[in-house]
Amino acid sequence: LKALVVLAHPEPQSFNGALARRAEATLQALGHEVKVTDLYQEKFKGIPDADDFSVRGDPSYLRIDREQTYSRDNGVVPPDVLEQQRLVDEADLLILQFPIWWYSMPAMLKGWAERVFTRGWGYMPGMKYDNGLHAGKLAMVSCTTGTTESTYAPDGIDGDIMALLWPVHNGLLRYAGMDVLTPFISFAPESIGEEGRRATLEAYDQHLASLETLPRLFFHSLDEYGPDLRLLPHVEPRSGFQRRPG
């Protein structure tokens, strides 16, 4: 496999940095090719704005998604975005490595998604989910938390960690057509001591060594939805995050 690890953490010595390096070393030892994009070290521009569009389709009103398609059609995509798209295109496996910040991805990684997963490259009308432009690729989240596993249990105070990750899993990775692997979640790396962190890195080795057999996350297929894009009456919601109203 060719893997791309996208790291979003401002401190290279952080546990997130360690997880990214561990993925690189472990996957290489397993015979895979690995590239790491370190967004903070590369000073990636993490916010989409007018500066991304030197030549505008509509100079009078900025619509980011339309301008993204225009840029692509006219060969004026910003070089840093093109480079990230090239790296993802080359990869069979995309790993997003990030700390949970405010129940979500850090703004830097969100901005990476907003700038790189453009209309025209990341998705197009009608080209999403099962018909996504990146069908055939694998994707996986590796994230860290501040609090312990129990706070993220389905009945924990922070709520089910999988619910926090649904926007990333379904809204970005699956939306783009990728198959999404079971995430690797490092709970509270700052609170578990050196020994705990070592054990977590070893567990990550195991996770990475079993990519082939790791369960893929379940998403309903497009043929299970009606014309209104709601699940057909006979389909039992099974994603864990869709339910019958009422």
Which spans of this chain sit near ligand FMN (rule: CB under 6 A)?
9, 14-16, 99-103, 144-147, 189-190
CA distances from 36 to 22, 48, 95, 146 (A): 11, 22, 9, 24
CA geometry: angle 144, 150, 154, nearest 5 deg: 95
164 versus 178: smaller Cβ distance to ligand FMN: 164
85 versus 200: smaller Cβ distance to ligand FMN: 200
36 versus 88: smaller Cβ distance to ligand FMN: 36
Q: Which amino acid, one-letter code, is at 33? A: E
Smallest gap, in angstroms, from Cβ of residue 85 to ligand FMN?
27
Smallest gap, in angstroms, from Cβ of residue 146 to ligand FMN?
3
19 versus 94: smaller Cβ distance to ligand FMN: 19
Residue nearest to ligand FMN (CB): 146
99 versus 122: smaller Cβ distance to ligand FMN: 99
Query: In degrees rounded to 5, what are phi and psi of residue 99?
Result: -85, 145
Smallest gap, in angstroms, from Cβ of residue 1 to ligand FMN?
25
End-to-end CA distance of the chain: 45
CA geometry: angle 155, 174, 18, nearest 5 deg: 70
Smallest gap, in angstroms, from Cβ of residue 78 to ligand FMN?
27
Smallest gap, in angstroms, from Cβ of residue 181 to ligand FMN?
20
Please choose, from the candidates 64, 59, 8, the residue with its C-alpha nearest in 3D space to the C-alpha of residue 37. Answer: 8
CA distance 6 to 35: 9
The total number of residues written for the chain in this structure:
246
153 versus 222: smaller Cβ distance to ligand FMN: 153
CA distance 134 to 91: 10
Smallest gap, in angstroms, from Cβ of residue 6 to ligand FMN?
15
Smallest gap, in angstroms, from Cβ of residue 111 to ligand FMN?
15
Query: In degrees rounded to 5, what are phi and psi of residue 162?
Result: -65, -25
Give yes or no for a contact between 118 and 73, defined as CB atoms under 8 angstroms apart: no
103 versus 218: smaller Cβ distance to ligand FMN: 103
Give yes or no for a contact between 78 and 52, defined as CB atoms under 8 angstroms apart: yes
Please choose, from the candidates 188, 103, 174, 108, the residue with its C-alpha nearest in 3D space to the C-alpha of residue 139. Answer: 174
